[in-house]
Amino acid sequence: MATIFSKIASGEIPSYKVAENEDFYAFLDINPLAEGHTLVIPRKVETDYIFDLDEDTYAGLCLFARKVAAAIREAVPCKRVGVAVLGMEVPHTHIHLVPLNSESDLDFRKKKLELAPEEFERIAKSIADKYAGL
Ligand code: AMP
């Protein structure tokens, strides 16, 4: 059975898309730690644990995440983009990219932002526009 993230990458389940290519997909986390909090996933490879990925998928995912992080940094005011891999909820490898202004911005225990759909759309578009220009 396909994971929820495979269904997001295929468009079966809606998401706020930030960037994509043939093999990878980036979209806004629906419970963001900060504006611009993005998840980066392999489209079809449903491996749960990132370090179980085959080498090509692992390397491709990291390179894709780097480009998405560059777009986030241009679109969202922040000191830098933090990287985290948890996978405590969804068993489909994903990298969290979180705009950081302080250490506490990467604290997954803190209360998540509640954003309106229009705000998610605005943020996703601003990152997507920067990604397209890279
Ligand atoms: P973890 O597996 O511990 O890395 O957590 C899964 C992350 O995926 C959480 O930050 C969720 O907010 C996020 N998430 C789960 N379902 C969706 C969804 N449908 N759209 C966007 N983000 C999601």
CA 94 to ligand 1: nearest atom: 4
Of 11 and 1, the structure prediction assigns the larger pLDDT to: 11
> Quick one: which of 25, 108, 31 has its CA closest to 60?
25
Domains of the chain, start order = 4-132 (3.30.428.10)
Is the pLDDT at 84 greater than 90? The verdict is yes
Catalytic residue set: 94
State the pTM of this model: 0.98
Burial tier of 127 (Cβ tally within 10 Å: 0-12, 13-18, 19+): buried
| pLDDT of 1 over the 90 cut | no
- Tell which atom from ligand 1 comes closest to the C-alpha of 33: 10
From 6, 31, 37, mutation site for ligand 1 pocket: most ligand atoms within 8 A of C-beta: 31
Helices (H), the chain: 4-10, 55-75, 117-132
Ligand 1 center from residue 90 Cα (angstroms): 7
